[in-house]
Amino acid sequence: MTASDIRDWANFFSAEAGAAASLTGLVIVAISINLSRILAFPQLPGRAIETLTMLVGVLLASSVALVPAQPMHALGAEIFVIGSLMWVVVVVAYLRGRGAPVPGKRWAPALRLIMGQLACVPFIIAGIVVFTSGASGLYWTVPGTIFCLIAGVLNAWVLLVEVVR
């Protein structure tokens, strides 16, 4: 792939930026509506920041990918930094809340950790591959984006509905 092939990705990144922005708004509303309930559960504030981090990460990665005539090295570095920052926030939030029990759901902490890794690590890989090999590394953003959106929807459900049960 050449640098001109990045244009083939414009529709994908435009759509993902819109989806991530919409879900980010939903999560912010969910947090603001249920803030006192979210703060009552030790694991939920971290889950909220993880969700916002992943969705804003997709928004930022999609936005930088849409910058016209950007060198592949610069795009790769930007995606790598975004993915790395997402990963750090997700891991720190998980570690801070890992001792909090989730009533009736022993598998929930493991699922949360796995989803966080599946969402963030592909962006780190994408950044490295785009930096070293060009636009073909953008294919790694696809699974990262999908897992970020899945995690965003699941966590929005938890922050809107499950928190009031």
Q: What is the value of pTM for the model shown?
A: 0.91
Q: Give the confidence band of 162 by pLDDT, cuts at 50, 70, 90.
A: confident
Q: Say how far apart CA 30 and CA 32 lie, in whole Å.
A: 6
Residue 94: half-sphere exposure toward Cβ, Cα within 13 Å: 18
In angstroms, what CA-CA distances link 153 with 30, 52, 94?
A: 11, 11, 18
CB 20 within 8 A of CB 59: yes
- AA letter at 29: V
What is the pLDDT at residue 156? 86
Residues 2-47 pLDDT 10s: 555 788 899 999 999 999 999 999 899 989 988 999 998 888 898 8
Question: Residue 149 — pLDDT band, cuts 50, 70, 90?
Answer: very high
Question: CB neighbours (10 Å) of residue 134?
Answer: 18
